Each structure stands twice: as C-alpha cells, then as structure tokens.
Amino acid sequence: MEKQKKDCSWNEMNSYKQLEIAGGKRMGIKASDALPLSLPLGLTNKVFFVMFFSAAYFLMTRWREKMAMSTPLHVVSLGELVAIVAQLASFVYLVGFFGIDYVQNAMVGIGDDDFERREELKSRACIDEVVPCSERERETKQVQVQLIKGVAVGENSDEDIAAAVCNGSVASYSLESSLGDCRRAASVRRRALELMTGICLDGLPLEGFDYDSILGQCCEMPVGVVQIPVGVAGPLLLNGLEYMVPMATTEGCLVASTNRGCKAIHMSGGATSILLRDGMTRAPLVRFASAKRAADLKFYLEHPNNAEALSHLFNRTSRFGRLQGIKCAIAGRNVYMRFSCSTGDAMGMNMVSKGVQNVLDYLQNEFPDMDVISVSGNFCADKKATAVNWIEGRGKSVVCEAVIREEVVSKVLKTTVGALLELNMVKNLTGSAMAGAVGGFNAHSSNIVSAVFIATGQDPAQNVESSQCITMMEAANDGKDLHVSVTMPSVQVGTVGGGTQLASQAACLNLLGVKGANAESAGANAQCLAKIVAGAVLAGELSLMSALAAGQLVNSHMKYNRSSKDVKTTT
C-alpha cells in the first residue's frame, strides 16, 4: 500500500540528503576532542587568540626599537624569549584546532552536533515515495544524479535530467541544445520546476504546441502554454470590405460590445480608414564634452546635404528598411537622434535598430569625441505613452470614420445622437483633459487594441502607445446623424516576424487576409492590419459610449461578465 508522506520543503530535504551523504551514520567525533583542555572551549580559544596577537605586537615593537638603536636582533632578553614561546604555543594550538576541524569536515561532513538535526530531517523528509502531482501533493524527492562522463545528456531519463537541473548539474537554458528536442526540453524543464517548487503544474497545458517554432525568437525556457479564448467581432465593413476581427481576451462583454458596434457601422454603410503615415522610430543617445559639439552633430544630421549619405548607410542594412528622416533633440551636451524609417510588413524594431547602429558607426569616425551612451535613449519612444508619439506618430498613423444613421443609433445602440455628443464632450475630451491624459481621449481603445494584438501575434506591450487615441463625435446631416471618428497616431503592427509566425496567430492573420508579406506592395499587409485595428476600435468606442449614455454598462457586465443577479435588488 502506497504510503502518504508529509510535505517537506526543498531546503529541508536537500539539507537531509547532504547530511546523509556526508555522514552515512552517527559521527561522535568533535575537532576539540583531539585537544585535552581543562577550560571551556570558547574561553580557551579566546585566551590563545589574545596570546598570539599580544606576543606578536610585543615582538614587533621590540625589534623596531633594536633596529633604531642598531642592536643585533639575535640578542634576546628574557621577556622576548617568553613572548616567542607564547606565540609559538598559541600558533600551534590555533593551527591544530582549526586544522583538525577542517580535515574532519572535509572527510565526514557532520559530527555529533549535527546528528539530532539529521534525525529530525530524516523524520520529516519525503524520500521513499513521491505523491503523484495529479493528487495536488507537493513533490519532495530529490534525485542525486551523476551524469556519466562521455554520455550525452539526452541518453539519461527525463527524471534524472530534471533532477540534474535542480542541483545545477545541467543548465535549464541549455536543455534545447543538449537534448535536441524542444518539446522534451519543455517537459524536462517543467518537471524540474515542479521538483524545485513543490507546486503542481497540471493546470498549465504542455501538449498541442510547436515548441520548435519559438526557439531563439519568441520565448525562452518554456514550460507550457497559456490558453486565451479568441472571439470574433463582425463583420466589420471597412473600406468596402468585410472583416471578421479576432479578439483574444478574458474580459466578458468586450467581444459582444465590439460586435454591436460593427453591426451599427455595417447598417450605416460602413467605415472608412485612412493611413496618414508609416514610420517606425529608434532614438539613440550620444554625449559630447560640450553643448557646442552636441549642437554640431545636430546641425550635421539635419543638413539636407548629408541626407543622401546617411540614407545610404541606413538602407544598406535591410531590403525593406528605408530611412525617412532624423530629428534631433538636445539636453545639455546630450543628443537624442530620432530616426524614422519604413519597415515593410514587419513591425520593424530590429530592422530600424540595425540601421541606426550602422549610422552610429559612421558618425563615430566623423565625430571621434562622440560617446555613444545607448542605442535607445527613450526619445523613440517605445512602450511608453509619450507626447512625441502623440504628436509625431510612431508606426502607423491611422484615422477611421463612419456616419451612423439616427435610426441605427436608436434601434441598435439604444440611445440618441444628442446623448452621445454630450457624453463624448464631457467624458472623452473634458474628463481626459482633467486627468492630464496623453493620447487618452477615448473610452477604452486599449481594450480592443490589446485583444487584437494578442490574437494576431503583435507585441502586447506596445499596446501602451498603440492605443493612444482621440475619439470625436459630431452631428451630421443637419444634426440627425452621428459622425464618429478615431485618430490613432501610433499603431505598431506587423504581419511578419515575432509572434505572427506562430500557428494560432498566423491563423488569425489569415482570417483577416493579411498573413505574411505582401508580394505586390511591401508593407501593404501591415498597413491594412493597422486600418482594421482602427476600425475595430471605432466599433468598440461606439458601443461602449452608447452603453454608458443609455445606462446599460453595469447591468450588461453583471449579466455577461460577473453575475446574473439583478443589481437593483442586491442589498
């Protein structure tokens, strides 16, 4: 019958194994047993320490006096003789005491003082049986692995390799290269994590994922995958074409709300989305000895006569990266150079960074006193809500608009044009201004941007600047209908590279018809994706604002996102 063991911590179990290996049996020998002492051990040690250093100090003082008086050192007085004997005696004691203790510890590891600790750990350590992880018990058995020399790591069992990862014999990050099997590496790393933490990972899926596809580009040291449900909103009628928009989210009502906005747009004839500019940025930081030299670099970079040469240096690092311009900002003797370039269908961060580095290498020869501080000086600005992105743009700058007919506002959105106009003014515009928002003049654009980004393999962290948006609502057609628009100056998306190549994300891109690079026009697919993101944001803004204007928000979230209880009757 399988015995159930008590939980024991990893440290306790590891300590027990070290004691067990080092000792093997009860050791009753102490280092101090080799020295016959009449005084307590602690006091004896103090006496000999004081004796050693006192004698050394006395002898050094006497020898310094003899050297000053030209007295031979071999002429020794009675006091000096006593000091020499005392120092030798204390030295012999100290070497003998600590030497015996060191040798004993090196050979057997533990003594009588450790025996009770070893017995306690033995009684608590779970070393005989391992409770199955499926029973949600903590794993407590540490396997001591000695990988055979000359034998490949992969020829050992997964359990032994996991234990070797635990004790440091095998590096976790090297499992893929050592085993030559990314799926097995993830499994072994996951098992090692369970052994080290004692935590069961049954709820984290391992199967059904191509771990080879992320090696060296998406995620290091994987132990499983996280599942996020993907819904679709649509059809979104945009620029005369219909799109079913994939949205990966765990928030209730979000897809349903966006879908309602898509319906309102479709019934009103569709939306129009326009690309205003397309340029990814990177801003290196350099420093000079003086502000004058910093200004010299600024004038050099912004002079029209140097543009062609700098563009050639930048463009030769990529087939698709093309330098559009450089804008400089100076803070004292520091120069922030904001490079902007087109990047084809890639989001382009690596592409622009490579081009920037090539230009910096050239500038180092032209300005030998230039000190490169960082390839990114935060004037880019990446993954931060900034005024420079709001004003100058980064990535794709897009505007999307639609005219929603009065009857659609009434029947589908359950509100009125007048109510939406007033709410947008006091909430999205005035309310955001009161909060000091930077590009936050909207209801919830980040909700839609994040959901579409995750579904299509974009960098979720770039939601920060990509969701900068101003939502405008105005009366149209003599005040009957509603003109609604979203302006998004910093949407950063790509259809090649990064997470876009993973099977699930590629399927979502394929659903939108923008998967991979566009064969006819470089960058067209990524630009189309940015327009779709803006169209989905327009639908989401329209629906949420209508729910707020009609007072439906709380009830809908209680019904679909949290509870079916009637909030009016809840006490």
Reported CATH class of domain 230-278+396-561: alpha beta
Per the listing, tokens 């709380």 go with: 554
Query: Residue 425 corresponds to which tokens in the numbers above?
Result: 């003014």
End-to-end CA separation in angstroms for the chain: 53
Cα–Cα distance for residue pair 241/324, rounded to 1 Å: 31
Full-model pTM:
0.73
Catalytic option among 459, 465, 481, 541: 459
- Per-residue pLDDT, 128: 38
Query: Which residues pair with residue 473 across a beta bridge?
Result: 484
- Per-residue pLDDT, 215: 92
CA separation, residue 237 to residues 269, 273, 358, 456 (Å): 8, 10, 43, 19
Catalytic option among 30, 66, 354, 383: 383
Catalytic site residue 74?
Answer: no
Catalytic site residue 541?
Answer: no
Catalytic site residue 383?
Answer: yes
Cα–Cα distance for residue pair 282/381, rounded to 1 Å: 7
CATH number of 284-374: 3.30.70.420
pLDDT, one tens digit for every residue, the chain (571 residues): 444 433 444 444 444 444 443 444 334 444 445 455 555 666 777 787 788 888 888 888 877 877 777 677 667 778 878 888 887 887 887 777 666 555 455 444 444 444 444 444 444 433 334 444 444 334 433 344 445 444 578 788 999 999 999 999 999 999 999 999 999 999 999 999 999 999 999 999 999 999 999 998 899 999 999 999 999 999 999 999 999 999 999 999 999 999 999 999 999 999 999 999 999 999 999 999 999 999 999 999 999 999 999 999 999 999 999 999 999 999 999 999 999 999 999 999 999 999 999 999 999 999 999 999 999 999 999 999 999 999 999 999 999 999 999 999 999 999 999 999 999 999 999 999 999 999 999 999 999 999 999 999 999 999 999 999 999 999 999 999 999 999 999 999 999 999 999 999 999 999 999 999 999 999 999 999 999 999 999 999 999 999 999 987 666 655 666 655 554 444 3
- Kindly state the greatest CA–CA separation across the chain: 120
For the chain, residues classed under CATH 3.90.770.10 are: 230-278+396-561
Give the number of other CB atoms < 10 A from CB of residue 145.
19
What is the distance, to the nearest Å, from the Cα of residue 507 to the centroid of all Cα atoms in its chain? 25
The pairing of beta strand 395-404 with beta strand 371-374: unpaired
Catalytic option among 251, 302, 406, 474: 251
For the chain, residues classed under CATH 3.30.70.420 are: 284-374
Catalytic site residue 312?
Answer: no
Cα–Cα distance for residue pair 30/21, rounded to 1 Å: 18
In three-state secondary structure terms, 48 is helix
DSSP calls for 204-271 = S--SS--GGGGTTTT-SS--------EEEEEEEEETTEEEEEEEE-S-TTHHHHHHHHHHHHHHTT-B
